[in-house]
Structure 1
Amino acid sequence: MTRSGLKLSGVSAAYRDTPVLHHLDLEVNQGELLVVLGPSGAGKSTLLRVVAGLQAATTGRVLIGGRDVTALRPGRRNVSMVFQSYALFPHLTALDNITFGLEVRDMPRKAARERAAAAAATVGCAHLLDRRPGQLSGGERQRVALARALVREPDLFLLDEPLSNLDLELRTETRGELKALHARLGVTTVHVTHDQTEALVLADRLAVLRDGRLEQLGTPDEIWRTPATVFVARFVGSPAMNLLPADGPLTPDGAPAARPPGHRIGFRPEAVRLGDVGTPAAVERVDVVGEDAYAYLRLAGDGPVITARVPSASRPFPGEPVRAAVRWADVHVFDGDGRRVTGA
């Protein structure tokens, strides 16, 4: 069995008097890249701060590499954290920023600089070492911050939305670099984000957080294909999963004759088929995104609106009557509490 790189056992935390994390149990395997995904206010950054020792847990224990660090100061946890703002000293060069943590721990200057140069080469910023943060782009500052984290040779990396300040093209490029870097180094990593694409691309496993509670933990494929709750089903996916009452206007092909009251069915936009059979609908809006189009359909006259993903070349047009059908095999069923019903 893989030794745990990080384990949270019954961890709670509060901001002033407001509870943020609620008896959270979470285990990250050694060498794993776990992405924590959730909306603003879910408790993602608080989780990182508790692990790093920057904020005390009100209950529970934090273990890193099997060692209980709950009562240890941040400097004794051997954790490196990359902040959303990068937190570089503006008056220091990139090299001095990278070596700062080593030198305050009394590492000889020559040895610190040799290690810094190696870390900078690993993340592709060796040519920037004589520049100050104000002379660097956002992507370059992010690389320096990663080198500063890497140079400590930590047991655990904590990344707090490190890509959020980058433009779309650079964010996509840097995502790939982060994934490759983790594959080379194999350091246990917890990466926090609200960006579902980033989470699905990077994660070995994905933890979906809501209001300080764990909604679901699994591989990206498991989260996508078998969402445990309505929240996960709606939060992961763009456009979001369609949700309808189980006894509503659309009856999927092959659905059982009787469906429990209070249950809801969910299906992704790509599961909707437009053709000559199915539930009557009217096209309210169509959004074209390259080869794909997203048609927003009003079911059965004044019924609910669902989204269908169709090829843009064969898309319907607003006002056009269509028929929408879904296979029962593509449907998820959720009970009255919003939990997925297995075997439905």
Structure 2
Amino acid sequence: MAELASESVSPGTGLRLTGVSAAYRREQVLHELDLDVARGELLVVLGPSGAGKSTLLRVVAGLQPATTGRVVIGDRDVTALRPGRRNVSMVFQSYALFPHLTALDNITFGLEVRDTPRAAARDRATAAATAVGCAHLLGRRPGQLSGGERQRVALARALVREPDLFLLDEPLSNLDLELRTETRGELKALHSRLGVTTVHVTHDQTEALVLADRIAVLRDGRLEQLGTPDEIWRTPATLFVARFVGSPAMNVVPSGGPFTPAGAPAVPAGSRFGFRSEAVRLTTGDGTDGTVERVDVVGEDAYAYLRLAGGDRIVARMPAAARPAAGATVRATVGWADTHVFGADGRRVTVA
């Protein structure tokens, strides 16, 4: 039986986008995007609906033309190549399986239309199905499979071509929470084992933080930040990234207002302070008075939604056993070490 070998990943570029723009129905979606993905890297493209995530994948795959710029995969400029010559495999959100074919025939279809001998195609399909955990499903049709099983078949179909680049367009979004959590771990293990350069698109921040070697945060077709999950979380480059990554969203209050982090130095005029809910402390000492508008309890954690003197609203996370009652008056504070500063333009500000 054929085997899918784990290649030794050498340094180099897996994918490079240089000045890539793209339009949809005459409306610009991507704006001169520059992006480098290392060979063997798993890059997650994260952003809200309308950010241009799926358009980026379609441009890389050749399903949509770039209006400007270049697309390089490995050492090949593929900008002008049709999709079949780019050697990329794509998994769609809908899985796009042929309903009248068995799982095995769905997986081998792309090989057979390229004149791969049937026996060799089936051997490779069996190896790909084994790699993603669906070898026992090869005789079934899509209508006989659960969502998670269809997702595995779609992954095997993409993997069987042994592509230079693996493109995943929100492949987990149709799964329920438990299965999505399980499959995230399987995807990460599969990537570690096979080492194929992968671009994974999602709007799910947890998915991005768990899966990615690096995360590219998109907003309105522009790159807001590119960094490791730890960098995105701990040093967000913009106010948008700070608010988008994290649940609940990062608290943001104006500098110069009634709520000032303890030990804060002078900051530029018009700046805003940002801090996460777990950094907020309720205290009987120095702090800013506020009223508890509501409390959400999630297992061992509680989230107290506070309206501060002056009208700002923030969220404080704490152990559920230590939560205040709704309507209570409390005093809140946050340390300077836990505070981010963003300028009037929304960019991160470094304060000495």
Q: TM (normalized to structure 2)?
A: 0.96
Measured against aligned partners, the alpha-carbon deviations of 1:203-251 in whole angstroms (never above 9, x if no partner) come to 0000000000000000000000000001000000000000011111111
Give, as a single letter, the amino acid of the residue that structure 2 aligns with 1:153.
E
Give, in angstroms, the shift of residue 121 of structure 1.
0.6
CA distance in 1, matches of 2:70, 2:325: 57
Q: Which runs of 5+ in 2 are unaligned?
A: 1-9
TM-score for the superposition, normalised by structure 1 = 0.98
Counterpart check, 1:335 vs 2:343? yes
Once the two structures are superposed, residues 143-183 of structure 1 have per-residue CA deviations (whole angstroms, 9 ceiling, x without a partner) of: 00000001000000000000000000000000000000000
2:214 counterpart of 1:212: no
Alignment partner for residue 8 of structure 1, among 13, 17, 20? 17
1:270 is aligned with what amino acid? Answer: E
Tell me the equivalent position of 2:144.
135
Distance 1:342 1:260, change over 3 A: closer
Q: Please give the alpha-carbon distance, in whole angstroms, between the structure 1 residues aligned to 2:260 and 2:159.
A: 54
Note the alpha carbon deviations across 1:82-110, whole angstroms, 9 max, x for none: 00000000110000000000000001100
Question: Does the CA contact (< 8 Å) of 2:43 and 2:200 recur in 1?
Answer: yes
Residue in 1 that maps onto 2:315 = 307
Instruction: State the alpha-carbon separation in 2 of the partners of residues 214 and 122 from structure 1.
Output: 33
Q: Distance in 2 between matches of 1:340 and 1:70?
A: 34
Task: Measure, in 2, the Cα distance between the counterparts of 1:6 and 1:260.
Answer: 39
Query: What's 1:115 paired with?
Result: 124
Given the alignment of the two structures, is residue 78 of structure 1 paired with residue 87 of structure 2, yes or no? yes
Matched, 1:34 2:71: no
Matches of 1:199 and 1:272 in 2, distance apart?
A: 25
SS across alignment from 1:323: strand
**Residues 300 and 320 in structure 2, CA contact (< 8 A), matched pair in contact too:** yes
Q: In the aligned structure 2, how far is the partner of 1:145 from the partner of 1:332?
A: 42
Is the Cα–Cα contact under 8 Å of residues 267 and 351 in structure 2 kept in the other structure? no
Q: How much has 1:260 moved relative to structure 2? A: 2.6
Query: Aligned to 1:163, which of 172, 175, 187?
Result: 172
Which of the numbers 237, 258, 272 marks the counterpart of 1:249? Answer: 258
What is the aligned partner in structure 1 of residue 299 from structure 2?
290
Supply the distance in 2 between the matched residues of 1:171 and 1:31 (Cα, whole angstroms).
23
- Contact kept in structure 1, 2:89 and 2:166, CA below 8 Å: yes
Does the 8 Å CA contact 1:7/1:64 hold for their aligned counterparts? yes
SS in 1 for 2:120: helix
Q: Does 1:54 align with 2:27?
A: no
**Residue number in structure 2 paired with 1:326:** 334
Q: Is the 8 A contact 1:249 1:303 kept in 2?
A: no
**Alpha-carbon shift at residue 343 of structure 1 (Å):** 3.2
Give the C-alpha shift of residue 326 in structure 1.
0.6
Residue deviations 1:171-199, cap 9 Å, x none? 00000000000000000000000000000
Is the Cα–Cα contact under 8 Å of residues 4 and 30 in structure 1 kept in the other structure?
Answer: yes
Structure 2 counterpart of 1:154: 163
> What is aligned with 1:103?
112
| Local SS of the residue matching 1:158 | strand
Secondary structure of the residue aligned to 2:302 is strand
CA contact (8 A) 1:279 1:324 kept: yes
| Structure 2: distance between partners of 1:78 and 1:327 | 51
Q: Is the 8 A contact 1:247 1:259 kept in 2?
A: no
SS in 2 for 1:87: coil
Please give the per-residue CA displacement for 1:35-63, whole angstroms capped at 9, x wherever unaligned: 00000000000000000000000000000
Q: Which moved more, 1:259-268 or 1:164-173?
A: 259-268
Q: Tell me, yes or no, if structure 1 residue 191 matches structure 2 residue 197.
A: no
Pick aligned residue for 2:154 from 137, 145, 153: 145
> Could you tell me how far apart the structure 1 residues matched to 2:260 and 2:125 are?
62
Query: Once the 2 structures are TM-superposed, how far is the Cα of residue 341 of structure 1 from its aligned partner?
Result: 0.3
Aligned partners of 1:249 and 1:66: how far apart in 2?
56
* Structure-1 residue corresponding to 2:6: none
Residue in structure 1 matched with residue 7 of structure 2 by the alignment: none
Supply the AA of the counterpart residue of 1:216: Q
1:342 CA drift (Å)? 1.7
- Offset at residue 66 of structure 1 (A): 1.9
Matched, 1:281 2:258: no
Is 1:272 the counterpart of 2:263? The answer is no
Distance 1:79 1:343 in 2: 44
Quote the residue 2:4 is aligned against. none
Q: Provide structure 1 residue ranges, at least 5 long, that are not aligned to the other structure.
A: none
